[in-house]
Amino acid sequence: MRLQLCFLAAVTMLSLPFVHPFGPVKRQHSEAFLIGGDSDGVLPLLERACQNCHSQRTQWPLYSYLPLASWALEHDVADGREHMDFSRWDTYSPEQKQDLLARIGAEVRNRQMPLPRYVLLHPEARLSDAEIQAIYEWTKAQRRALKKSTMTGNKPDRG
């Protein structure tokens, strides 16, 4: 009986890395550019601080394949992509983009994003005051451009 329980426990532990309660998060990958054009130099900031959770270009660290840690990370990424997925930027309507840009600007400016717990493990994602201001100004400019193109009936820029 004890041997059977040990065998069952071993099989369970060995199978945990292959259990993904949040769906195929790691299998979703896109080579699409984040957001599109980058006339203001903001793209490297978004890639460094945002893309791991808010795109399908996630760089999965080695510990993301360990049981329990993988579940927590996959949950966070699935949740981040649900709120906004830069890899799907072109599928959002102009109104959705304006709303997302407003939220990006506000959350970055108020230091709600990137999440403090994410920055603890990924210090390279920390944004300086100047970088925060650059993202904030970029979101304002992008919202203005979207609003203007919507009012004039022109197709908005990719960005």
Question: What is the DSSP annotation of 113-143?
Answer: SS-HHHHHH-GGG---HHHHHHHHHHHHHHH
Encoded tokens for 112: 């709600």
67 and 16 Cβ atoms separated by less than 8 Å: yes
Q: Give the model confidence (pLDDT) of 118-157 as tens digits.
A: 888 889 999 999 999 999 999 999 999 998 887 876 655 5
pTM assigned to the model: 0.74
Residue 157 within a domain: no
pLDDT in tens, 17-64: 665 555 555 555 566 656 655 556 898 999 999 999 999 888 888 887
Q: Which tokens hold the place of 118?
A: 């994410």
Q: Whole domain around residue 84: which residue ranges?
A: 2-152
Whether 158 is covered by a domain: the verdict is no
Residue 158 has pLDDT above 70, yes or no: no
* Burial 77-98, CB ≥16 within 10 A → b, else e: bbebbeebbbbebeebeeeebb
The owner of tokens 């791991």 is 52
Count of structural domains, the chain: 1
Q: Does any domain span residue 91?
A: yes
In a domain, 159, yes or no: no
